[in-house]
Every structure is written in structure tokens, then in C-alpha cells.
């Protein structure tokens, strides 16, 4: 994706120095600030504090976190402990667990002296594959978008939720990759971006769409229903943090309500995700762990004050009880199709297995 007209990735690995640089997403959309990750604790903190976020990017960052950890101590004990620490950072996105399991399966059998180089190589392979897979999702999604009838003349209106774009991956994004592909192919596309309370990942989506020059409009989460009802949305595309074997989809809280409103208004609801988001060991959505985040996220609103200084304002009395589930599950029956790097399929175990036959016997 382009930042100021320059193709840019969200993660830069400096193998010689044994460090990576990430964008501190807690400072967006107000400041684009690159942050150095030089230790295992830096990597774990970046994921837990959501300096990096989005399922595929969390996976790639964890892989590099393991490589950084092995740069100082490549013993089996440290490998196991580092994996455990990184795995504990966030529960719902399966990409984190997938990336760590892949790293460990390569590294564990090796002698300690070979592990560090192998870890950097495997982490780099994970990041490169993410870029290629997301680009392929973009092309498959573009073919789908070309077939969708426009409800309003002049432009194709896509709605998305949360940020499943460039910032959630190493490049291109999942749900936004077809949007970038469509825009770059000359289709007149406009994106309705829902704010995504309480962490407002929609602001990240709006920021990156603006960087790439894609027309878009931010809406409050609760405005989605009226726009769908008024025929102002041709399709909804979201990402996923985990897709269970039966096609149920865990994604940012609020996704399920959009899928319900799509079904009621005959608007197609699509999920875009790479192989690393599929969890065939998880039979259905009920088995997906849903992250409950700290209530402070809900209690305080963040932004710039009148002087342009980042500030937080308390928006409710301390004694109010608050629940803050970060994800929800959309049942497979509400998903019209899943857009993957291998093609488009229905949300069912049969269709997913037809695309990914190697997953029929999960380890």
C-alpha cells in the first residue's frame, strides 16, 4: 500500500541488528510513529498493548518476537518460555498461535547453534507469505466486486468494520485488499467505515484509505443499519480473527450485528481471510475464546485536546459496571462467502476443505 505515494509495509525487519520496526498504532491516526522492537518483552508488550494489532500482523510480529528472543539465548528452555509469553498476549486471533506453532515446529528439532538464523528466516517467510496471500485475496475479491450490481449509479459502496486493512497485516490487508485492488483497477469504489467502538479501529481504516486515495466516509457503528436499509451499501466485507471448521467467523465485536442487518436487507456479507486465520481444530464459533479487554478502554475516550496534545477523557463514573468483549461470532449461515488467497468459497467445512485439503487432518 502507498504512504505518501511510496509502497510501504507495516513491519521492517533488520536482521543484522536483530530488531524490527513497527508502526505504533496507538498513536494513529494523529501521528505516524515507528517503534523499535529490540527484545522479547518489547514484542510481547507491543502485541498486548495493541501497538500492533490485527490478526495477521500479530502473527508476523510474534514470529519475529521469537527470532529476537533466540538472538540472545537459543536454548530449548528459552524457546519454550518465549513461545509461552508471546502466546499469552492475546487469545482470539488464531494467527498468533499458528505463527508460533509454525516457528516452533521448525526450530525445536534444530541444534541451538542453528536456531537463531533459522528463526529469522522463518519469520521472514511468514511475513512474505502474508504479503503474497493478501495480494491474492485482493485479486479474488476484485473479481467478486466486478460482479456486484451497484444500487446507486456511479460508485460501488462497500461497508467494512474495524481495521482489516494494511495496518492489520504486513501489507494490503484482508478485507481492504479487494478495495485497494478495485481502486487501483479504476473502479469507482467508496467505503463506509464504521468507527468500531471502543478502540476506534475504524479511524485506522479511514487513515489508511486516505493515504491510498480511496474515497470513504466514517460512520458511527449504530448508523450501519439505516445505510443498509436505504440501499446505500452494495456489500459488506470484513476480516476475521479466527474461522472455525464449520465456517463460523470470530471478528471485531459488532460484526455479527452487521451480518444480521445484511441478511435482512439482501446485502452480501463477505469475510476475507488467509489460511493462517482458519482453525480446523476449532469445531464451531462457540469454541472460540473471546477476549474480554480492560474496562478502561470503554471508560475513557482518547483524542487530541484543543492544543493538539493527545489526551484521555473519562466518559462515565468509575462505579459504573462495564463489559468489554472485544470480538463476536458471526454464524456461518450469515456469511455469503469467504475470500481466501486460494479463491472464494462458501462458509462451510466442505467448501473450506475443498480449498485446503491439507487441513482435513489437523495436528
Contact call for residue 1 and ligand MRU (CB under 6 A) = no
Contact call for residue 164 and ligand MRU (CB under 6 A) = yes
- Based on the residue annotation, tell me whether 279 is a catalytic residue of this protein: no
245-284 residues near ligand MRU, rule: CB under 6 A:
251-252
Name the maximum alpha-carbon separation found in the chain: 63
Contact call for residue 326 and ligand MRU (CB under 6 A) = yes
Contact call for residue 352 and ligand MRU (CB under 6 A) = no
> Smallest Cα–Cα separation from 146: which of 289, 8, 4, 344?
344
Side-chain half-sphere exposure of 48, counting CA atoms within 13 A: 13
Give dist(CA 93, CA 59) in Å, integer. Answer: 8
Give dist(CA 59, CA 130) in Å, integer. Answer: 10
Contact of 278 with 98, CB cutoff 8 Å: no
Given the residues 130, 171, 241, 248, the one annotated as active site: 241
Among 11-19, 103-111, 234-242, 280-288, which window interacts with ligand MRU (CB under 6 A)? 234-242
Contact call for residue 194 and ligand MRU (CB under 6 A) = no
Instruction: Show the cell assigned to 239.
Output: 476480516
> Smallest Cα–Cα separation from 277: which of 137, 85, 35, 95?
95
Contact call for residue 211 and ligand MRU (CB under 6 A) = no
Query: Using CB under 6 A, which of 171, 241, 279, 328 touches ligand MRU?
Result: 241
State which residue, 71 or 336, has the beta carbon closest to ligand MRU.
336
37-56 residues near ligand MRU, rule: CB under 6 A:
53-56
The least CB distance from residue 283 to ligand MRU, in Å, is 21
Long-range Cβ contact pairs of 27-34 (< 8 A, separation 24 or more) = 27/310, 28/167, 28/203, 28/204, 28/207, 29/203, 29/204, 29/206, 29/207, 30/304, 30/310, 32/3
State which residue, 66 or 326, has the beta carbon closest to ligand MRU.
326
Query: Using CB under 6 A, which of 71, 133, 134, 174 touches ligand MRU?
Result: 174
State which residue, 217 or 324, has the beta carbon closest to ligand MRU.
324
The set of catalytic residues is 241
Amino acid at each position: 500500500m502507498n504512504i505518501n505515494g511510496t509502497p510501504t509495509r507495516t513491519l521492517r525487519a533488520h536482521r543484522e541488528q536483530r530488531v524490527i520496526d513497527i508502526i505504533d498504532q496507538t498513536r494513529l491516526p494523529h501521528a505516524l510513529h515507528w517503534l523499535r522492537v529490540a527484545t522479547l518483552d518489547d514484542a510481547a508488550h507491543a502485541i498486548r498493548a495493541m501497538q500492533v494489532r490485527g490478526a495477521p500482523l500479530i502473527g508476523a510480529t510474534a514470529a519475529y518476537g521469537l527470532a529476537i528472543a533466540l538472538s540472545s539465548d537459543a536454548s530449548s528452555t528459552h524457546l519454550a518460555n518465549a513461545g509461552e509469553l508471546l502466546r499469552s498476549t492475546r487469545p482470539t486471533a488464531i494467527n498468533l498461535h499458528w505463527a508460533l506453532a509454525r516457528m516452533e515446529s521448525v526450530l525445536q528439532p534444530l541444534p541451538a547453534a542453528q536456531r537463531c538464523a533459522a528463526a529469522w528466516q522463518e519469520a521472514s517467510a511468514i511475513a512474505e507469505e502474508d504479503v503474497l496471500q493478501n495480494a491474492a485475496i485482493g485479486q479474488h475479491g476484485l473479481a467478486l466486486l466486478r460482479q456486484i450490481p451497484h444500487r446507486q449509479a456511479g460508485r460501488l459502496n462497500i461497508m467494512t468494520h474495524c481495521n482489516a486493512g494494511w495496518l492489520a497485516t504486513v501489507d494490503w490487508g484482508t478485507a481492504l485488499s479487494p478495495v485497494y485492488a478495485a481502486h487501483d483497477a479504476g473502479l469507482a469504489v467508496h467505503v463506509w467505515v464504521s468507527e468500531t467502538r471502543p478502540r476506534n479501529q475504524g479511524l485506522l481504516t479511514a487513515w489508511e484509505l486516505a493515504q491510498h486515495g480511496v474515497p470513504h466516509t466514517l460512520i458511527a457503528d449504530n448508523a450501519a443499519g439505516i445505510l443498509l436499509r436505504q440501499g446505500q451499501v452494495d456489500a459488506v466485507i470484513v476480516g476475521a480473527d479466527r474461522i472455525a471448521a464449520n465456517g463460523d467467523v470470530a471478528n471485531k465485536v459488532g460484526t455479527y450485528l452487521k451480518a444480521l442487518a445484511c441478511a435482512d436487507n439482501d446485502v452480501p456479507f463477505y469475510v476475507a481471510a488467509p489460511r493462517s486465520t482458519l482453525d480446523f481444530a476449532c469445531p464451531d464459533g462457540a469454541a472460540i475464546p473471546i477476549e474480554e479487554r480492560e474496562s478502561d478502554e470503554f471508560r475513557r475516550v482518547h483524542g487530541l485536546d484543543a492544543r493538539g496534545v493527545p489526551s484521555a477523557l473519562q466518559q462515565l463514573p468509575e462505579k459504573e459496571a462495564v463489559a468489554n468483549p472485544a470480538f463476536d461470532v458471526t454464524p456461518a449461515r450469515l456469511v455469503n462467502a469467504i475470500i481466501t488467497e486460494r479463491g472464494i468459497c462458501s462458509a462451510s467445512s466442505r467448501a473450506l476443505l475443498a480449498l485446503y485439503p491439507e487441513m482435513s487432518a489437523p495436528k
